[in-house]
A = this chain, B = another copy of it.
């Protein structure tokens, strides 16, 4: 299937690249919709999948919805267990883990990703000031 570089696809990629966080699909739809109110959700969701497929952006499956990241270099993520915000974590990729996992599971493992959980700076500050653990 030969792909077409439509006006909409270009706009969606541009918008994702302009967003600094790790927006959910719907947040991207909202941002795109602000720039062109005739673009539908279907188009945005479809194109996000296409772009992720092509490697233009990275799909990040998180509880509460798929998120997308324009940084395609290998890196991990941390999610705030209080507010759900996501940030980047740059750590060296440990290839040997995949081999160890293959041995342990019997699957042919070719990759892994690590998801960290914790509190973002502002939630941490808030919890601390309220005295909760």
Q: Which secondary structure dominates where chain A touches chain B?
A: strand
List residues of A whose CB falls within 8 A of some B CB. Answer: 61, 63, 76, 78, 80, 87-91, 97-98, 100-102, 104-121, 124
Complex Cα spacing A115 to B113, Å: 5
A80 contacts which of B97, B107, B116 (Cβ < 8 Å)? B107
B97 & A118 in contact (Cβ 8 Å cutoff): no
Q: Please give, as numbers and ranges, the residues of chain B lying within 8 Å of A106 by CB-CB distance.
A: 87, 120-121
Complex Cα spacing A51 to B118, Å: 22
A114 contacts which of B63, B97, B105 (Cβ < 8 Å)? B97
B111 & A112 in contact (Cβ 8 Å cutoff): no
8 A-B pairs whose Cβ atoms sit less than 8 Å apart in the complex: A78-B107, A80-B107, A88-B105, A89-B104, A98-B116, A102-B118, A105-B116, A110-B119
